[in-house]
Structure 1
Amino acid sequence: MKTIKLFLFLGMFGISNIHAQKISGKVTSNNEALPFVNVYLKGTSIGTTTNENGFYTIEDVVPGNYTIVASFTGFKNVEKQITVEGNVTIIKLELEGALSLDEIIITGTLKAVSRLESPVPVEVYSPAFLKKNPTPNVFEALQNVNGVRPQLNCNVCNTGDIHINGLEGPYTLVLIDGMPIVSGLSTVYGLSGIPNSLIEQIEVVKGPASSLYGSEAVGGLINVITKLPENAPLVFADSFISDWGELNLDIGFKSRIGDNTNLITGINYYNYSNPIDDNKDNFTDVTLQDRISVFQKWDFKRNNNRLFSLAGRFFYEDRWGGEMQWKPSFRGGDDIYGESIYTTRYELIGNYQLPINEKVNFQFSYSDHDQNSVYGNTEYLAKQRIGFGQLIWDKPIKNHDLLFGLAARYNFYNDNTTATTEADKIVIPSIFVQDEIKLSEKQHILLGARYDYDDRHGSIFTPRIAYRFKPSKDDIIRLNAGTGFRVVNLFTEDHAALTGSRDVIIEETLNPEQSYNVNINYLKKLYTKKGQIYTFDTSAWYTYFTNAIIPDYDSNPNQIIYDNLDGNSTSKGFSLNIDAVLGSGINASVGATFQEVSQNENGIKTRQILTERFTGVWSVSYKHYPTNLTVDYTGNVYGPMRLPTLGDLDPRSEYSPTWSIQNIQFTFTGLTNLELYAGVKNLLNWTPNKGNPFIIARANDPFDKNVDFDPNGNVIATADNPYALTFDPSYVYAPNQERRLFFGLRFTLN
């Protein structure tokens, strides 16, 4: 963390000890005047801000003892005990910068390096980011990350996945503490239940990372890094409720066992049990959920500061959505439609540094996922077990920073569908190597390659190259190129393939997808004479896919057809992020992404379904230090995307409109160890049913009992079904939840 010295000069003048006094002084940073700094007396409403030349004056101060606070967004607060009695006092204080390019990251290269030094562009999101718009899970929290979109895949059960730069969720690998523990089935459910209070930071890499992380890291990856026990609060709790009846509770504590063991325990509980049908289609607007997650992390102190940590998580969720009359007794029947999902999940993560002179770590993870679900009268029972282990040897030598790795991944998957005739069991061994070469102080180049062997598909080779040029301490240019691959299991990643609302057609043996990617990134930090700080982060990318597997919703409205694309698929675009500290307690962040994701088959170019052309996100925060009140205004905007309609007669719009979700929050921090917050989500009251006659097709006949078909299986238009539709809940692009109030409380004891 960059350290910035701040000198606060206080002049205290007075007429006598019984009259009000005046405090004045100057605030500087690096011996330069720092304007718009908040200076106030703690526990009072007396305060001011420095002018353009860094000077301030506080009038009418009664003589006595005070704590004076100098606070400027981007720096840690500085406090000093003072006595106001007319004497001039000069105080030297030191602040630590909070908005910096020096955040420590590990995702891009599997090494802990500063963000500025990494040859791979990595975006970092702190707990402060999560607090600006409190959510019950990480999935929803990512809605304000530029180029990242949480996509709901079903109007009924509200399962979803994460899109990065327009690519579908199966292209995104999600990790916890660097381990690929969230994948397959758990991509749908695994981002729920990670206690936000235990998150140290979230790192996002956009673009292929298969050379380090293997299959699934094709579109990008998200690494959720949890706190070290020694850095966690002694006790913490965070809970909020909404006027829709949602309740979210995070609680936890850290403890010490003996002299060498620290641990943290976190529990997340979420409950929503209030069926609401504001759009009057007789279906729940939001899925009802009852979820608990227990997380524990152990850190063992060893000789020579060698690492050894273990973490585990238990997750259970009962969720359902459907017709308002649905009860558990209707589960699996064809009288009242409901989608009911019971999920039980166990996870284990470990990192052990071998007791040898070389720096060699053994990292491992294991997950066990059991899903019992019904979609109407279609039963889907699935089990998935994933074991992962790797040895990493970190070997720096002159001008080279080498990394060698041996890995193996065990996948077990079984379900009750006709497509799975026997359990899928496979072990995929891998070897990878990486070398970051120091060409000069300003130029580094990174070379990497990975070899995987899959019995089903043979050898898979994924190289990459990254070039980093650092013309100054606050500028960096990165050029990255590489390949990615993905082995597909349809039933672990496409909710529409499970619901039974469409028939699944697999036309051929599906080969692994292969991608080729290039992107360029420029990062710039700028300081103005007025004390403002700006960080600019811009990227452009191009990704080319062969053997792409894209579900075909268009050829037959009653089917999803899967095959390897006879052609190619591309994703290209550019993005810009700007973070700014504007002074007077104001900081802001804004981002925009423009992209085109399409496929070309038989000379016909088609825009990918459920992919927006542009997206924007923003966050504006203002803190009024004398009253300890912070206002956060966050939001996003999405451009039109093509939607899965059910044929030419479907009256629903083929494209979504431009839409936006916006939120506001007020936080009070004037109480010891406590924060109170309240706000409004979805200020514009936007829901996708606006402008559409309905969202769920044939909601009045979810089992298609009154649908007529011709001999070829096509729907016949009738008086009862004039649009020739079947029941289908997959027409979804935005949450159905309307405007709502929320109230919350945070307690922290350090």
Structure 2
Amino acid sequence: MAVIMVVVCLSAQAQMVIIKGQVVSGESPVEFAHVILKGTQTGTVADESGNYQMVKIPAGTYSVEAVAMGYHRTEQTITVQSGEVAILNFTLEENSATLGEVVISGTMKEVSKLESPVPVEVYSPAFFKANPTPSIFESLQNVNGVRPQLNCNVCNTGDIHINGLEGPYTMVLIDGMPIVSGLSTVYGLTGIPQSLIERMEIVKGPASTLYGSEAVGGLVNIITKKPSSAPLVSADVFATSWAEVNTDLGVRYDLGKKISSLLGINYFNYQNPIDNNKDGFTDVTLQNRISVFNKFNIDRKDGRVFSLAGRYVYEDRWGGEMDWTKEYRGGDEIYGESIYTSRWETFGIYQLPTEEFVNFQFSANGHNQNSVYGSTSYIADQYIVFGQLTWNKILGAHDVLTGLAYRYTYYDDNTPATASADASNPKNEPSVTHLPGLFVQDEIKLSEQNKLLLGARYDYNSVHGSILSPRINYKWSSVNKKNVLRVSAGNGYRVANVFTEDHAALTGARTVEFEGELRPETSWNGNINFVKKIYTSSGLFIGLDASVFYTYFTNQILPDYESDPNKIIYSNLDGSSVSQGVSFNVDMAWESGLKIIAGGTLMDVSVEENGEKFRQLLTERFQGVWSVGYSFDKLGLVVDYTGNLYGPMRLPLLGDLDNRSEYSPWWSIQNIQLTKILGDKWEVYGGVKNLLNFTPPANSIARSFDPFDEGVVFDGNGQVVPTPNNPNALTFDPSYVYAPNQGIRGFLGARFTFR
């Protein structure tokens, strides 16, 4: 009997099959890939060389699937006979959502993110959906090294800081076109329909070689969807317990057979004055904003590109004393800051019908602003026209891009910025600037693993003369592309216009004073970036991204709030300033559905002048961000927990007697959201923002009870005299601001997508 059983077992084993092979991507093995017989419990994990083997498989026909984090699933069908050793190899393609994103910001042409010599961070719409906001300005609060900074406690205008550098050093582009600048640095990041955003690219460090002035600290490039890939209809509507309502609508349609179009509308409304800190002022500005965006793609012969887009934004916002109404606008009875903004933009790209790859890129915008800050008015018009011709040519190992650019800027306002320098003959003199430029870059492929990028730009500013901006970038990658090292150095420059960039200069709370003619700012930057991707046998993906950065400024223009509490004094720095630090990001994803993105930036931004070194105002030493998400696939439920943490910042005081803290505390904004997926068209989401209910102290606005300084005594030199009613020698001032005044609130929304 025992002999019979042994014979039966040996016969059964002889009928079993072995399936083995290798999993690769290109010429590189894919380590720890999962190979599964679909419909069974049988599977295995490839080793570090991508080799796998499954034994004791019954004869038959199977669907075999190879799965690896960062790659598209690949499935093959195989029929195996008894006793056969079957060889089945898999070639996986990189998943564009994780590894092979296409970016344009670093080199001004489409390349894989992995292949770009310039480090570019890419954020998808899914990243921002974890914490829905009514504007791109607010959505950047969860990006490491990037901070949306409020500049005024009353009207809540703001800008974007990158690695501790002020907002005017950050260039904002849409589809690679520099359309957000000057006046719209403050307002241009609101009203872009987020339903139309394909991705957001962020470059940290000078990009003036390609983009010219303003790209000193870095750039934010908003890439909108192509009409061909956008949903037919999309909608996203949410409201908060503070009575804020935000609506995003997107519609794709065709105009004939050759023109596809994408229409987007954003509407935001908030009309509920709240004063939780009891300082007599609105905690958040009341807003009524509408934005309309339309993009056209025109099919052309041989697939040549022709894309045209336009956007219009209108916003009416105000903040101030709780009993302010529009009848008090511009008066000195009840204090309010009221801003009417009307802005149009158009931009596009046209590929010339030539054998060579030549593109013409263009943009134009007009910005009209009518603002009052108490009894001080600021009325300004700005028009910018930009054109750029680029030629891209591959010559052996050299990938050459060269271009000619021209930018025309017209600016007029009712401030001293456009007043005649001749006091005996005062008149208005609008500022007109011509800025032609020439740039060239050469991306040299030294080997499969090494690239060198050399670039230089020459601009001629009609006011300030010649400006040269060189840069060099080097990239090394391992054979399997899971380790990438980038080293870069470059120069940045900026021509400043104080009144369009610094809200504090407009409020009327202080007198603006200039010391000499402001010269262009210059910076030199170095950056080392290392990226590592790890795939474990358990299916865990880990992405690591670490950077060391250093920026040295000369001629920097910094507002001096401290020499005189009644003035803002602008001048070129007689010395230098430095922004330096390290940043680290980690991205982890489990097959179970858990995803964690976290990062931190430790930095030192300091100024040295007249032998004295001090920290720059409103710049934190540490910033941390995180986003934790988990998907319950069987329930169709997603949980997201997001947050940020900021270290102390040095704040602008109003003199030695100001009893407010010189430094802000550690503070954090944290949010939680639940999203329920209902089929393939609907999502319902809701949650709580600012879980810790953090808000700045109630005395952030100095003398909020006396906004027109009626109870302030001044001496003959215009200095505040301490009195029993004003022992700390304060004047009304809203610039002591480091965090939003909006506390905890709930929100509820719904998304609809029809493809």
Specify if TM > 0.5. yes
- What residue is the counterpart of 1:331 in the other structure? 329
- Matched residue type, 1:680: V
**Are 2:464 and 1:436 aligned?**
no
Change (3 A) 1:524 1:458: same
Equivalent residue number for residue 713 of structure 2:
708
Q: Distance in 1 between matches of 2:720 and 2:42?
A: 78
Alignment of 1:412 onto 2:410:
yes
Counterpart amino acid of 1:436?
E
Post-superposition CA distance 1:363-399 (Å, at most 9, x none):
0000100000000000000001111000000111100
* Kept after mapping to 2: 8 A contact 1:8/1:93: no
Whole-angstrom distance in 1 between the partners of 2:67 and 2:279: 52
RMSD: 2.4
Conserved 8 A contact 1:7-1:94? no
**1:28 deviation in Å?**
6.1
Letter in 2 for 1:631: V
Look up the SS of the partner of 1:188 in the other structure. Answer: helix
- Gaps (5+ residues) in structure 1? 12-23, 35-52, 55-68, 81-91
Structure 1 segment 521-536 matched on structure 2, within 5 A: 521-536=529-544
- SS, match of residue 186 in structure 2: helix
Question: Residue type matched to 2:458 in 1?
Answer: Y
Out of 440, 446, 469, the residue aligned to residue 462 of structure 1 is: 469
Cα pair distance change 1:254/1:554, threshold 3 Å: same
- CA distance, structure 1, for counterparts of residue 71 and residue 444 of structure 2: 34
Aligned match for 1:194, one of 189, 192, 195:
192
Seq. identity, %: 61
CA distance in 2, matches of 1:508, 1:734: 33
Tell me by how many angstroms 1:25 deviates.
Answer: 2.3
Q: Contact (CA 8 Å) 2:69, 2:541: kept in 1 or not?
A: no
Measured after TM superposition, the shift of residue 6 of structure 1 is: 6.8
2:740 to 725, 735, 738: 735
Matches within 5 A, 1:178-193: 178-193=176-191
The ranges of structure 1 where at least 4 consecutive aligned residues each deviate by more than 2 angstroms after the TM superposition are: 2-11, 24-34, 69-80, 92-101
Any conservation in 2 of the 1:130–1:196 contact (CA below 8 Å)? no
**1:642 and 2:650 are equivalent in the alignment:** yes
- Residue 603 of structure 1 corresponds to 611
Q: Which amino acid aligns with 1:626?
A: K
Aligned-partner residue type, residue 412 of structure 1: Y
Q: CA deviation at 1:31?
A: 9.1
Change in CA separation of 1:682 and 1:98 when aligned onto 2, cut-off 3 Å: farther
Matched residue, 1:65: none
Quote the Cα distance in structure 1 between the aligned partners of 2:180 and 2:45: 44
Within 5 Å, give how 1:654-693 maps onto structure 2.
654-689=662-697
After TM superposition, the structure 1 = structure 2 runs for residues 363-442 of structure 1, keeping only pairs within 5 Å, are 363-421=361-419, 422-442=429-449
Q: Which residue of 1 aligns with 2:498?
A: 490
| 2: CA distance, partners of 1:745 / 1:503 | 47
Counterpart in the other structure of 1:562: 570
State TM-score, norm by structure 1: 0.89
How far apart are residue 252 of structure 1 and its match?
1.3
Match of 2:84 in 1: none
2:510 aligned with 1:502: yes
Task: Say if 1:31 and 1:625 are closer, same or farther in 2 by CA, change over 3 A.
Answer: farther
**Take 2:743 and 2:49, find their aligned partners in 1: how far apart are those partners?**
47
Q: CA offset at residue 721 of structure 1?
A: 1.4
Aligned to 1:543: 551
Pairwise CA distance, 1:214:
0.2
Counterpart of 1:457 in structure 2: which amino acid? H
Gaps of 5+ in 2: 1-24, 55-64, 77-89, 420-428
Q: Which residue of 2 aligns with 1:581?
A: 589
State the Cα deviation string for residues 208-230 of structure 1 (Å, max 9, x = none): 00000000000000000000000
Aligned pair partner of 1:349 in 322, 347, 350 = 347
Which AA in structure 2 matches 1:155?
A: N
1:257, CA displacement in angstroms? 1.7
Amino acid at match of 1:745: A
The alignment covers a number of residue pairs equal to: 693
Deviation at 1:79, TM superposition (A): 12
Q: Are the equivalent residues in 2 in contact too, given 1:136–1:270 (CA < 8 A)?
A: yes
Contact kept in structure 1, 2:173 and 2:180, CA below 8 Å: yes
Task: Please tell me the residue identity of whatever aligns with 2:595.
Answer: N
SS at 1:143 equivalent: helix
Deviation at 1:418, TM superposition (A): 2.6
Alpha-carbon offset, residue 27 of structure 1: 5.8
Relative distance call for 1:33 and 1:480 in structure 2 (3 A) is closer
8 Å CA contact 1:124–1:204 kept in 2: the answer is yes
Contact residue 150 and residue 156 of structure 2 kept, 8 A: yes
Q: Distance in 2 between matches of 1:78 and 1:451?
A: 49
Aligned to 2:58: none
Corresponding residue SS for 1:627:
coil
How far has the Cα of 1:8 moved from its partner? 4.6
Deviation at 1:671, TM superposition (A): 2.9
Equivalence for 1:149: 147
User: Residue 726 of structure 1 corresponds to which residue in structure 2?
Assistant: 731
Give the Cα–Cα distance (whole angstroms) in 1 for the partners of residues 656 and 469 of structure 2.
43
Which 10-residue stretch deviates more, 703-712 or 314-323? 703-712
- Whether contact under 8 Å (2:406, 2:435) holds in the other structure is yes
Describe the shift of the 1:419–1:6 C-alpha distance in structure 2 as closer, same or farther (beyond 3 A): same
Give the match for residue 37 of structure 2.
9
Q: Which amino acid aligns with 1:100?
A: T
Match in the other structure for 1:221: 219
In the alignment, the residues of structure 1 paired with residue 66 and residue 305 of structure 2 have an alpha-carbon distance, to the nearest angstrom, of 38
Distance 1:433 1:33 in 2: 42
Cα distance between partner residues in 1 of 2:641 and 2:181: 33
What's the counterpart of residue 25 of structure 1?
41
